A and B are shown apart, each in its own frame.
Chain A
Protein backbone atom coordinates (compact mmCIF):
# COMPACT_ATOMS: atom_id res chain seq x y z
CA UNK A 1 0.00 0.00 0.00
CA UNK A 2 1.15 3.50 -0.75
CA UNK A 3 -0.05 6.80 0.61
CA UNK A 4 -1.16 9.30 -2.03
CA UNK A 5 -2.37 12.86 -1.58
CA UNK A 6 -5.25 13.20 -4.00
CA UNK A 7 -6.68 16.69 -4.42
CA UNK A 8 -5.22 17.64 -1.06
CA UNK A 9 -6.54 14.62 0.85
CA UNK A 10 -4.40 11.69 2.00
CA UNK A 11 -5.53 8.23 0.98
CA UNK A 12 -3.99 4.80 0.69
CA UNK A 13 -3.92 2.81 -2.51
CA UNK A 14 -2.93 -0.68 -3.52
CA UNK A 15 -2.49 0.52 -7.10
CA UNK A 16 0.93 1.94 -7.89
CA UNK A 17 0.35 2.54 -11.58
CA UNK A 18 -1.20 5.93 -12.32
CA UNK A 19 -3.53 4.57 -14.97
CA UNK A 20 -4.80 1.80 -12.67
CA UNK A 21 -5.06 4.20 -9.75
CA UNK A 22 -7.26 6.51 -11.80
CA UNK A 23 -9.37 3.62 -13.07
CA UNK A 24 -9.94 2.45 -9.51
CA UNK A 25 -11.71 5.70 -8.80
CA UNK A 26 -15.15 6.40 -10.10
CA UNK A 27 -14.00 8.63 -12.92
CA UNK A 28 -14.90 6.44 -15.81
CA UNK A 29 -16.41 8.52 -18.55
CA UNK A 30 -15.53 11.77 -16.82
CA UNK A 31 -13.51 14.35 -18.65
CA UNK A 32 -10.52 15.07 -16.44
CA UNK A 33 -6.87 16.08 -16.46
CA UNK A 34 -4.07 15.22 -14.08
CA UNK A 35 -0.99 16.79 -12.53
CA UNK A 36 1.50 14.77 -10.50
CA UNK A 37 3.61 16.70 -8.02
CA UNK A 38 2.60 19.91 -9.79
CA UNK A 39 3.66 18.64 -13.22
CA UNK A 40 1.04 18.08 -15.90
CA UNK A 41 0.74 14.46 -17.00
CA UNK A 42 -0.69 13.94 -20.50
CA UNK A 43 -3.22 11.12 -20.81
CA UNK A 44 -0.88 9.17 -23.06
CA UNK A 45 1.62 8.90 -20.19
CA UNK A 46 -0.71 7.52 -17.49
CA UNK A 47 0.28 3.91 -18.09
CA UNK A 48 3.99 4.65 -17.91
CA UNK A 49 3.91 6.29 -14.48
CA UNK A 50 4.50 4.40 -11.24
CA UNK A 51 3.34 6.15 -8.10
CA UNK A 52 5.24 6.28 -4.85
CA UNK A 53 4.23 7.21 -1.32
CA UNK A 54 3.86 10.93 -0.82
CA UNK A 55 2.99 11.67 -4.43
CA UNK A 56 0.53 14.51 -4.86
CA UNK A 57 -2.09 14.11 -7.56
CA UNK A 58 -4.35 16.88 -8.78
CA UNK A 59 -7.38 15.53 -10.63
CA UNK A 60 -9.35 18.33 -12.25
CA UNK A 61 -12.59 18.58 -14.20
CA UNK A 62 -14.37 21.31 -16.19
CA UNK A 63 -15.97 23.98 -14.06
CA UNK A 64 -17.73 27.30 -14.47
CA UNK A 65 -15.37 30.25 -14.84
CA UNK A 66 -15.19 33.89 -15.70
Chain B
Protein backbone atom coordinates (compact mmCIF):
# COMPACT_ATOMS: atom_id res chain seq x y z
CA UNK B 1 0.00 0.00 0.00
CA UNK B 2 1.11 3.56 -0.61
CA UNK B 3 -0.31 6.96 0.06
CA UNK B 4 -1.45 9.21 -2.79
CA UNK B 5 -2.83 12.47 -1.41
CA UNK B 6 -5.59 11.35 0.96
CA UNK B 7 -5.92 7.82 -0.48
CA UNK B 8 -4.30 4.50 0.33
CA UNK B 9 -3.65 2.62 -2.90
CA UNK B 10 -2.21 -0.72 -3.92
CA UNK B 11 -1.40 -0.04 -7.57
CA UNK B 12 1.27 2.51 -8.39
CA UNK B 13 0.00 2.95 -11.93
CA UNK B 14 -2.16 5.90 -12.94
CA UNK B 15 -3.75 5.40 -16.33
CA UNK B 16 -5.35 7.61 -18.96
CA UNK B 17 -8.66 7.04 -20.71
CA UNK B 18 -7.89 8.41 -24.18
CA UNK B 19 -6.80 6.98 -27.54
CA UNK B 20 -8.08 3.41 -27.09
CA UNK B 21 -9.42 1.62 -30.17
CA UNK B 22 -12.86 1.38 -28.52
CA UNK B 23 -14.60 2.13 -25.21
CA UNK B 24 -14.75 -1.61 -24.50
CA UNK B 25 -11.01 -2.01 -24.93
CA UNK B 26 -10.49 1.04 -22.71
CA UNK B 27 -12.53 -0.62 -19.96
CA UNK B 28 -10.76 -3.96 -20.29
CA UNK B 29 -7.36 -2.27 -20.34
CA UNK B 30 -8.01 -0.20 -17.23
CA UNK B 31 -9.14 -3.32 -15.39
CA UNK B 32 -6.14 -5.33 -16.60
CA UNK B 33 -3.74 -2.57 -15.53
CA UNK B 34 -4.82 -2.86 -11.91
CA UNK B 35 -4.76 0.93 -11.72
CA UNK B 36 -6.90 2.65 -9.11
CA UNK B 37 -6.56 6.15 -10.56
CA UNK B 38 -7.81 7.18 -14.00
CA UNK B 39 -7.26 10.51 -15.70
CA UNK B 40 -10.10 12.25 -17.47
CA UNK B 41 -10.61 15.57 -19.16
CA UNK B 42 -13.38 17.96 -20.11
CA UNK B 43 -14.27 19.36 -23.47
CA UNK B 44 -16.91 21.55 -25.08
CA UNK B 45 -20.21 19.75 -25.38
CA UNK B 46 -21.07 18.68 -28.89
CA UNK B 47 -24.86 18.97 -29.24
CA UNK B 48 -24.91 16.12 -31.75
CA UNK B 49 -23.33 13.69 -29.32
CA UNK B 50 -24.51 12.35 -26.01
CA UNK B 51 -22.47 14.93 -24.16
CA UNK B 52 -19.88 12.65 -22.65
CA UNK B 53 -22.62 10.89 -20.69
CA UNK B 54 -21.84 7.39 -21.94
CA UNK B 55 -18.12 7.79 -21.31
CA UNK B 56 -18.68 9.15 -17.82
CA UNK B 57 -21.10 6.33 -16.94
CA UNK B 58 -18.50 3.76 -17.98
CA UNK B 59 -15.80 5.41 -15.91
CA UNK B 60 -18.08 5.72 -12.90
CA UNK B 61 -18.88 2.02 -13.11
CA UNK B 62 -15.20 1.27 -12.45
CA UNK B 63 -15.44 2.96 -9.03
CA UNK B 64 -11.86 4.26 -9.19
CA UNK B 65 -10.25 7.52 -8.16
CA UNK B 66 -10.69 10.25 -10.75
CA UNK B 67 -7.88 12.62 -11.68
CA UNK B 68 -9.15 15.35 -14.02
CA UNK B 69 -6.60 17.15 -16.15
CA UNK B 70 -6.37 20.64 -17.59
CA UNK B 71 -4.95 19.41 -20.90
CA UNK B 72 -4.82 22.00 -23.64
CA UNK B 73 -4.59 25.00 -21.34
CA UNK B 74 -1.96 27.58 -22.28
CA UNK B 75 -2.54 30.27 -19.66
CA UNK B 76 -2.93 30.56 -15.91
CA UNK B 77 -6.48 31.81 -16.32
CA UNK B 78 -7.55 28.94 -18.59
CA UNK B 79 -5.99 26.37 -16.27
CA UNK B 80 -7.64 27.78 -13.15
CA UNK B 81 -11.09 28.02 -14.73
CA UNK B 82 -10.75 24.53 -16.21
CA UNK B 83 -9.73 23.14 -12.81
CA UNK B 84 -12.72 24.80 -11.17
CA UNK B 85 -15.08 23.33 -13.75
CA UNK B 86 -13.45 19.93 -13.33
CA UNK B 87 -13.87 20.04 -9.55
CA UNK B 88 -17.61 20.50 -9.93
CA UNK B 89 -17.98 18.10 -12.86
CA UNK B 90 -16.04 15.22 -11.33
CA UNK B 91 -16.67 16.00 -7.68
CA UNK B 92 -13.01 15.88 -6.66
CA UNK B 93 -10.43 18.44 -5.56
CA UNK B 94 -7.67 16.49 -7.34
CA UNK B 95 -6.36 18.10 -10.50
CA UNK B 96 -3.58 17.13 -12.87
CA UNK B 97 -2.44 20.62 -13.69
CA UNK B 98 -1.14 21.07 -17.21
CA UNK B 99 -0.19 24.47 -18.55
CA UNK B 100 1.47 24.02 -21.90
CA UNK B 101 4.23 26.43 -22.88
CA UNK B 102 5.28 24.97 -26.20
CA UNK B 103 2.98 23.34 -28.70
CA UNK B 104 5.75 21.50 -30.50
CA UNK B 105 6.76 19.23 -27.64
CA UNK B 106 3.91 20.01 -25.22
CA UNK B 107 6.44 21.19 -22.68
CA UNK B 108 4.92 22.66 -19.52
CA UNK B 109 5.30 26.40 -19.00
CA UNK B 110 7.08 26.44 -15.62
CA UNK B 111 6.22 30.05 -14.78
CA UNK B 112 2.51 29.76 -15.54
CA UNK B 113 2.40 26.35 -13.86
CA UNK B 114 3.78 27.77 -10.63
CA UNK B 115 1.38 30.70 -10.64
CA UNK B 116 -1.64 28.48 -11.33
CA UNK B 117 -0.48 26.03 -8.66
CA UNK B 118 -0.28 28.75 -6.02
CA UNK B 119 -3.79 29.95 -6.81
CA UNK B 120 -5.36 26.49 -6.96
CA UNK B 121 -3.77 25.38 -3.68
CA UNK B 122 -5.17 28.51 -2.05
CA UNK B 123 -8.58 27.39 -3.34
CA UNK B 124 -8.27 23.97 -1.71
CA UNK B 125 -7.18 21.87 -4.69
CA UNK B 126 -4.84 18.91 -4.42
CA UNK B 127 -2.57 19.86 -7.30
CA UNK B 128 -0.74 17.16 -9.25
CA UNK B 129 1.50 19.40 -11.40
CA UNK B 130 2.69 18.04 -14.72
CA UNK B 131 6.14 19.59 -14.74
CA UNK B 132 9.58 19.30 -16.23
CA UNK B 133 12.37 17.63 -14.27
CA UNK B 134 13.93 20.98 -13.33
CA UNK B 135 15.01 20.86 -9.69
CA UNK B 136 14.45 24.55 -8.98
CA UNK B 137 10.95 24.52 -10.46
CA UNK B 138 10.13 21.44 -8.42
CA UNK B 139 11.42 23.08 -5.25
CA UNK B 140 9.23 26.11 -5.90
CA UNK B 141 6.20 23.90 -6.50
CA UNK B 142 6.84 22.19 -3.18
CA UNK B 143 7.26 25.59 -1.49
CA UNK B 144 3.86 26.51 -2.98
CA UNK B 145 2.34 23.55 -1.15
CA UNK B 146 2.52 20.62 -3.57
CA UNK B 147 2.84 17.25 -1.87
CA UNK B 148 2.93 15.49 -5.24
CA UNK B 149 5.04 16.27 -8.30
CA UNK B 150 4.72 14.72 -11.74
CA UNK B 151 7.87 15.38 -13.76
CA UNK B 152 7.88 14.22 -17.34
CA UNK B 153 9.95 11.27 -18.49
CA UNK B 154 9.80 12.59 -22.05
CA UNK B 155 7.32 14.71 -24.05
CA UNK B 156 3.73 13.47 -24.06
CA UNK B 157 3.05 10.62 -26.45
CA UNK B 158 6.66 10.11 -27.55
CA UNK B 159 7.26 6.82 -25.76
CA UNK B 160 10.93 7.70 -25.34
CA UNK B 161 11.09 6.66 -21.71
CA UNK B 162 13.23 8.47 -19.16
CA UNK B 163 15.35 10.79 -21.31
CA UNK B 164 17.09 12.41 -18.36
CA UNK B 165 17.53 9.80 -15.63
CA UNK B 166 20.11 12.00 -13.89
CA UNK B 167 17.58 14.80 -13.35
CA UNK B 168 14.89 12.38 -12.21
CA UNK B 169 17.27 10.65 -9.81
CA UNK B 170 18.33 14.04 -8.44
CA UNK B 171 14.71 14.92 -7.74
CA UNK B 172 14.22 11.64 -5.90
CA UNK B 173 17.33 12.16 -3.79
CA UNK B 174 16.56 15.77 -2.98
CA UNK B 175 12.88 15.27 -2.26
CA UNK B 176 12.57 12.09 -0.22
CA UNK B 177 9.25 13.09 1.33
CA UNK B 178 7.42 14.22 -1.80
CA UNK B 179 5.29 11.82 -3.81
CA UNK B 180 6.98 11.63 -7.20
CA UNK B 181 5.22 10.26 -10.24
CA UNK B 182 6.72 10.10 -13.71
CA UNK B 183 4.08 11.47 -16.04
CA UNK B 184 4.37 11.31 -19.82
CA UNK B 185 6.87 9.80 -22.19
CA UNK B 186 6.61 6.23 -20.94
CA UNK B 187 6.56 3.86 -23.91
CA UNK B 188 7.40 0.40 -22.59
CA UNK B 189 7.03 -1.47 -19.31
CA UNK B 190 10.83 -1.37 -18.92
CA UNK B 191 10.59 2.44 -18.64
CA UNK B 192 8.11 2.09 -15.79
CA UNK B 193 10.38 -0.42 -14.07
CA UNK B 194 13.27 2.03 -14.39
CA UNK B 195 11.24 4.82 -12.77
CA UNK B 196 10.08 2.70 -9.85
CA UNK B 197 13.48 1.13 -9.43
CA UNK B 198 14.97 4.58 -8.80
CA UNK B 199 12.39 5.14 -6.09
CA UNK B 200 9.58 6.91 -7.89
CA UNK B 201 6.25 6.37 -6.18
CA UNK B 202 4.26 5.87 -9.35
CA UNK B 203 3.90 6.25 -13.08
CA UNK B 204 1.17 7.90 -15.12
CA UNK B 205 0.71 6.84 -18.71
CA UNK B 206 -1.87 6.54 -21.44
CA UNK B 207 -0.53 6.16 -24.97
CA UNK B 208 1.80 3.27 -24.13
CA UNK B 209 -1.22 1.10 -23.35
CA UNK B 210 -3.89 2.63 -25.58
CA UNK B 211 -1.76 2.55 -28.73
CA UNK B 212 -0.19 -0.86 -28.19
CA UNK B 213 -1.12 -3.56 -30.69
CA UNK B 214 -2.93 -5.33 -27.88
CA UNK B 215 -3.82 -2.72 -25.24
CA UNK B 216 -5.29 -5.19 -22.74
CA UNK B 217 -2.20 -7.38 -22.78
CA UNK B 218 0.05 -4.31 -22.55
CA UNK B 219 -1.95 -3.14 -19.54
CA UNK B 220 -1.18 -6.47 -17.90
CA UNK B 221 2.50 -6.00 -18.75
CA UNK B 222 2.51 -2.59 -17.05
CA UNK B 223 0.71 -4.06 -14.06
CA UNK B 224 3.56 -6.56 -13.66
CA UNK B 225 6.19 -3.90 -14.37
CA UNK B 226 4.96 -1.80 -11.48
CA UNK B 227 5.34 -4.72 -9.11
CA UNK B 228 8.79 -5.61 -10.45
CA UNK B 229 10.06 -2.04 -10.28
CA UNK B 230 8.88 -1.43 -6.74
CA UNK B 231 10.19 -4.76 -5.45
CA UNK B 232 13.55 -4.03 -7.08
CA UNK B 233 13.68 -0.64 -5.35
CA UNK B 234 12.75 -2.07 -1.97
CA UNK B 235 15.21 -4.94 -2.24
CA UNK B 236 18.16 -2.71 -3.23
CA UNK B 237 19.81 -3.09 -6.61
CA UNK B 238 23.44 -4.21 -6.43
CA UNK B 239 26.09 -1.60 -7.15
CA UNK B 240 27.42 -1.58 -10.70
CA UNK B 241 31.08 -2.61 -11.15
CA UNK B 242 33.56 -2.22 -13.97
CA UNK B 243 35.42 -5.45 -13.30
CA UNK B 244 34.05 -8.94 -13.63
CA UNK B 245 33.71 -10.99 -10.47
CA UNK B 246 32.87 -14.69 -10.65
CA UNK B 247 29.61 -15.69 -9.07
CA UNK B 248 30.68 -19.34 -8.67
CA UNK B 249 33.12 -19.84 -5.77
CA UNK B 250 36.68 -20.29 -7.01
CA UNK B 251 37.89 -22.20 -3.97
CA UNK B 252 38.18 -25.90 -4.86
CA UNK B 253 37.79 -25.42 -8.58
CA UNK B 254 38.71 -28.77 -10.28
CA UNK B 255 41.94 -28.80 -12.29
CA UNK B 256 42.98 -25.51 -10.67
CA UNK B 257 46.69 -25.02 -10.54
CA UNK B 258 48.89 -22.11 -9.72
CA UNK B 259 49.75 -20.30 -12.92
Contact = CB atoms under 8 A, between A and B. Distances in A.
Interface of A: 7-8, 25-27, 29-35, 38-40, 42-43, 58-66
Given A26-B47, A61-B56, 9 more contacts: A25-B47, A31-B53, A33-B86, A60-B89, A62-B52, A62-B59, A65-B71, A66-B205, A66-B207
Interface residues of B, number: 37
Interface in B152-207: 156, 205-207
A8 B89 contact: no
B40 interface: yes
A65 B42 CA distance: 8
Given A31-B89, A33-B85, A60 B156 contact: no
Nearest to B80: A40
A48 B220 CA distance: 50
A66 B44 contact: no
Contact of A59 (B40, B45, B81, B207): B45
Interface stretch (B16-24, B134-142, B224-232, B242-250): B16-24
Given A26-B47, A60-B43, A65 B18 contact: yes
Contact of B88 (A8, A42, A63, A66): A42
